[in-house]
Amino acid sequence: MDARALKEGVVSGRLDADALSAGFADLHAPLSDHEALVAADRCYFCHDAPCITACPTDIDIPLFIRQIATGTPEAAAKTILTQNIMGGMCARVCPTETLCEEACVREKAEGEPVQIGRLQRYATDTLMAQGVHPFSRAAPTGKSIAVVGAGPAGLACAHRLAMHGHDVVVFDARPKAGGLNEYGIAAYKSTEDFAAREVDWLLQIGGIEIRNNMALGRDVTMADLQSDYDAVFLGMGLGGVNALTAPGAEKEGVLDAVEFIADLRQATDLSSLPVGRDVVVIGGGMTAVDAAVQSKLLGALNVTIVYRRGRDRMNASVWEQELAAAKGVRIITNASPVAVHGNGAVREIEFEFTDDNLTPTGQTFRLAADQVFKAIGQTLVGDDLPDLDGRKIAVTGPGRSSVKGVWAGGDCAAGGDDLTVTAVAEGRDAAEDIHAALMRA
C-alpha cells in the first residue's frame, strides 16, 4: 500500500492516480464479440426457462441470447429494452447471482451459470453505441403526466408513457437525472458516466421534459401536480437517512454512507476525496458494501462493516460480501453500536454483541475509527402523500395509491425489493395502468 495511506486522520490523496484508476476501473470488463458468442453458446435455450421467471422485468432471456448467438445483438437489445428500458444499467448493477443466474439450469447442474448479465450488457452497449433508439412515440393523446423522481422507476414510467403518446414532465430534486443510478451506485459498477449517457439515450423517445432541482414539498406540491396534470406517478425514492441513535452519533466524522457515495460519484478527481485511515461502516446492505469497498479503494488502511444480524440476514448478496472481503474489508456480524467515543470527533465506536433475536449479550468491543458511515436504511420524505404502508406509500396492483389519479413505484412504494431492476418493472407497469386509465376516461 502507498505510504500515504498510513497517515492518521481523514485526508485526501491517500493513493496516487494510477492506484485510484486501477481500483475504480470497470468491475466486469465488457465481453468482446468472440467472448459473447462463446458465452451465448452455453445457453440451453430452455422452453420454460427459469431465468425468465427470476427476472423482475420478465425479459425473454433465452431469446435475446439466441439473437446474440446468431449475430444480431441489436435485435437482442430490443428484446431486452422492450421489457427493461434501463437494461444497460441493470446489466451492470443487477444482483444476477441471486436472480436470473442463480435460476440458470447451468448453475443448478454445473455450478457455473450462463453469463446473462454480461451478455445483456454486450447487447445493450452494442445498440447504444450506434446511437439508435429502437422505439418511437404513438400519436399524441393530449394527456400529460407528472412524474416525481428521475430515478429508475420514474424514468421507466416516463419512457413507457411517452411511447404511448403522452406528454411527461419529470420533477427531480437533484441537479442531474438518474436517481440511484447516478448518485447511489459504486463508481466501479458504472464507469465512464454511463448513468448520464443512458438517461440521454432514453430521452431520445421524445415527449419527456426533466425539471431538475424541483423537490416535492419544497418546489412543487401534490395539490399542484394533481390540478395541473392528468395523472401523477411518485417515484422519488427515499430521501431521508435513518438516524444513528447511539450516544455520540453527532460527532464529527460520523457521516451518511449515501452522501459519501453520491459525493464520490460526482467527483471529477478521486484524489481530492478525504477518507479516514480507520473506517467503520454500520449496516448490511448494498450501500454498506459500496461505501466500505470504495473507502478501501480510496486508500483507507482498515475498513470494517458491522451489522447487527447474522451474515445470512445481510441484504447484500453473498457475492457482494465476498467482493468486500476480497478488497480487504472485514465484516463483523451480530453487533449493534452502543456509543461513539471521541473528543469532538470520532476516535472509537463501541459495539455490543447480540444474539439472533437482537438481544444484547453484555459483551462489548471497540473499533478505532476516524470515519464512520451510516448505512442503516433510508426513510420516505414528503408532505401530503397518499396513505402509507409502514414507512412507504401503500399501493395495490400496478402501483395504484390510495388517491385517485396517483400511482407510485420504486423504493418509495411498499412491497417491492429495493433494486434498480424492480424499480424499472414497477415504473413500467404503473405506466401501462396509467395509460389504460387515461384512455378510458
Domain boundaries, the chain: 3-25+241-377, 33-129, 144-239+380-440
Other C-beta atoms lying within 10 Å of the C-beta of residue 347: 17
Query: Where does 33-129 sit in CATH, by number?
Result: 1.10.1060.10
Whether the CB-CB separation of 378 and 242 falls below 8 Å is answered with: yes
Closest CA to 149 of 238, 226, 262: 238
User: How far is it, in rounded angstroms, from Cα 298 to Cα 265?
Assistant: 13
pLDDT by residue (tens digit) across 207-262?
A: 999 999 999 999 999 999 999 999 999 999 998 889 999 999 999 999 999 999 99
Spelled out in words, what is the top-level CATH class assigned to the domain 3-25+241-377? alpha beta
The dihedral over CA atoms of 91, 92, 95, 99, expressed in degrees to the nearest 10, equals 10
Query: Where does 144-239+380-440 sit in CATH, by number?
Result: 3.50.50.60
Residue 266: band (very low, low, confident or very high) from pLDDT cuts 50, 70, 90: very high
Report the relative pairing of strands 406-408 and 231-234 from DSSP bridges. Answer: parallel
User: How far is it, in rounded angstroms, from Cα 22 to Cα 327?
Assistant: 13
- Tell me if 3-25+241-377 shares its fold with 33-129: no
User: How far is it, in rounded angstroms, from Cα 392 to Cα 78?
Assistant: 33
Cα dihedral sign, 223-225-226-228: positive
Assigned C-alpha cell, 234:
411518485
The span from the first CA to the last CA of the chain, in angstroms, equals 65
User: How far is it, in rounded angstroms, from Cα 316 to Cα 98?
Assistant: 10
Percent of the chain past pLDDT 90, that is, above it, reads: 93
Region 352-367: mean pLDDT is 95
Assigned C-alpha cell, 184:
447511489
User: How far is it, in rounded angstroms, from Cα 209 to Cα 415?
Assistant: 29
Predicted local confidence at residue 7, as pLDDT: 78
pLDDT by residue (tens digit) across 316-325?
A: 999 999 999 9
pLDDT by residue (tens digit) across 399-418?
A: 999 999 999 999 999 987 88
The contacts of residue 262 (CB under 8 Å, 6+ apart) are 183, 184
